[in-house]
Chains A and B, each alone.
Chain A
Amino acid sequence: MRPKINYLAVLASLFLIMASCDQDTVLIGEPVTGLSNDAIKRSLPIAPNLVDGVIEFAYAMAIPEDLGNLSSAQVTASIPGAAGTYFDPNSYHTNQSGQDIPVLVASESQTNGTTTSIQFSTDTCAATLRFYYVIPEEARGKEVSFSFSVKASNGQSTEYQMGPYQTSRMDMTRSLSLTSDETGYISLRNDSEAAVIYSKSQLEANPSLASQVDIVYAYHGSSDISHAFYAADAPEAYRPGVVFPSGFSNQTKMIKEYGLRDRQLSDLHYSHFIDDLDFESINMTRSINYVLALKEEAGAWVETSDGEYRAFIYVNNTGPGEMTISVKRYKM
């Protein structure tokens, strides 16, 4: 009997020692002693950066309250941003419902060349400002880097580097309207826009425009043909009732596609993106000179007859005799 009780007591005390709670608190990092900052890129991480698009950043700055306040912040970009580059003077924080709440803490931002700066107008020791950089034409095909910096009232300053980010060589035009009767002539050769639509009356007034037309859109009631794109050499049997404008001669190459829901063209929420590499590497030997029976979420890879441009046309939606497209274009 007695040896048993001793044995149990030893076991029980061992168990209690092992199961006791560890109450020591542990610091995760170094305690903050001065001005500190952090930055993240808020715009979609894998989306190609297109000229005239925006790269959005969130820049967080903080200083311990007893040391002072934040006085100013600035960003220097390696390539000057286009008009519309600015610091949002609101500081954002996320509330318990998950919504971002703005609080006005600064005056209007000033952009001079490559530097955008902002002055704090209220006493604040911690703020997260959003910076919007409009990608300029000069950045096309190049890399852009950013240097964020903040100054505090006690004289301290610190900075944070972001980038480099590659800018695409593509152009994009969204939500172009096509109608079978009047505005059905697509041109990919405009200098600034990815695609422009010419109308029948425009071609009648200026017949030389027909040489700029790459694709003719037409709609036919039959479900086999329905919404169709035609190049100049499309077989006549498959374009009943379609009259090409005189001077339309471009033998555009097209490959029919379906379900390629590029996020920037389609505005849907699939994380697919057509990038420069797709245009450089696509094999156009599968192409033909007409595409029939297009519908919503269908599309076509296009190469102009002279090989100068490649494009992807995405069909946003269709109605009888009309369709809305968005185009990404790449200069070879």
Chain B
Amino acid sequence: MKKTVYNSIVLSLLFLSVVACSNEFPIDEDGLLITDREECYVSNFELFDTDHQTIRVGNSHVDTVAQVAIAYVRFGAPLTKLWPRISLAEDAKLTPKISSYNGWTDFTGSKMDIDFVEGDWSSGNATNQLSERIVSNPSSFPATAKRYTVISGNRKVEKEYIFLIVERPLQ
């Protein structure tokens, strides 16, 4: 009986050692985990001023099919030194990188000049009517708008998003 117990212990240890070191989730060049997720989208676009407070009004409009993110900002919000906070799908990463310290970026090129019509703004926030009108007219996007590319968790899917800023009229 002792010999069979001893044998089964050794066999089970051998079996465990075989399955122990499998490299299913490697690390990429930035030290981030490469998973098997292929979702690749932006979920939120936030902008902070030099006082670390948001300059946005309401929510950002993100169209994951057209690959456009629009932030609606207060009238008079300065755009020269903003710190963007772009939220992504799980395990995805962004390129070019946004620094976690001193990520101040000039977003004046992303500002869109639009003629507003009735129904574009409701109690200070942009309506879907305005968002859809902007997205459906890609030729009006400024050429200098900021673009960032989202890379999925498995690093195989890449989508470039264009980031726009629309200033609301004086309330």
Q: Which residues does chain B contribute within 8 Å of A223, judged by CB atoms?
A: 171
Q: Are A224 and B53 in contact (CB under 8 A)?
A: no
Q: Which of A219-240 contact B (CB under 8 A)?
A: 222-225, 237-238, 240
- Residue in A closest to B170 when the chains form the complex, CB atoms: A222
Q: Are A256 and B170 in contact (CB under 8 A)?
A: no
Q: Are A224 and B170 in contact (CB under 8 A)?
A: yes
Q: Are A256 and B76 in contact (CB under 8 A)?
A: no
- Residue in B closest to A239 when the chains form the complex, CB atoms: B76
- CB 8 Å contact bits of B48-84 with A (1 = contact, 0 = none): 0111110000000000000000000011111011000
Q: Are A286 and B171 in contact (CB under 8 A)?
A: no
- Residue in A closest to B81 when the chains form the complex, CB atoms: A286
Q: Which of A251-295 contact B (CB under 8 A)?
A: 255-259, 286, 288, 290, 292-293
Task: Tell me, yes or no, whether A298 is within 8 Å of chain B by CB.
Answer: yes
Cα A259 to Cα B49 with chains together (Å): 13
Known: A286-B104, A293-B74. A225 touches B170 (CB 8 A): yes
Q: Are A225 and B51 in contact (CB under 8 A)?
A: no
Cα A228 to Cα B8 with chains together (Å): 79
Q: Are B53 and A258 in contact (CB under 8 A)?
A: yes
Give the B interface residue count (CB, 8 A). 16
- Residue in B closest to A235 when the chains form the complex, CB atoms: B76
Interface SS, B side: loop
Known: A223-B171, A286-B81. A256 touches B49 (CB 8 A): yes
A: contact size bracket = 10 to 19
Q: Which residues does chain B contribute within 8 Å of A257, judged by CB atoms?
A: 50-51
Q: Are B52 and A258 in contact (CB under 8 A)?
A: yes
Cα A328 to Cα B104 with chains together (Å): 26
- CB 8 Å contact bits of B23-49 with A (1 = contact, 0 = none): 000000000000000000000000001
Closest chain A CB from B100 CB (angstroms): 17
- Residue in A closest to B55 when the chains form the complex, CB atoms: A293
Q: Which residues does chain A contribute within 8 Å of B80, judged by CB atoms?
A: 288
Closest chain B CB from A317 CB (angstroms): 17
- Residue in B closest to A257 when the chains form the complex, CB atoms: B51
Q: Which residues does chain A contribute within 8 Å of B49, judged by CB atoms?
A: 256
Closest chain B CB from A294 CB (angstroms): 9
Q: Are A222 and B171 in contact (CB under 8 A)?
A: yes
Q: Which residues does chain B contribute within 8 Å of A293, judged by CB atoms?
A: 74, 76
Q: Are B51 and A298 in contact (CB under 8 A)?
A: yes
Q: Are A256 and B171 in contact (CB under 8 A)?
A: no
Q: Are B75 and A222 in contact (CB under 8 A)?
A: yes
Q: Are A224 and B76 in contact (CB under 8 A)?
A: yes
Q: Which residues does chain B contribute within 8 Å of A255, judged by CB atoms?
A: 50
- Residue in B closest to A298 when the chains form the complex, CB atoms: B51
Residue in A224, A225, A237, A286 whose CB lies within 8 Å of B50: A286
- The 3 A-B pairs at the shortest CB distance, nearest first, are namely A258-B51, A224-B75, A238-B76
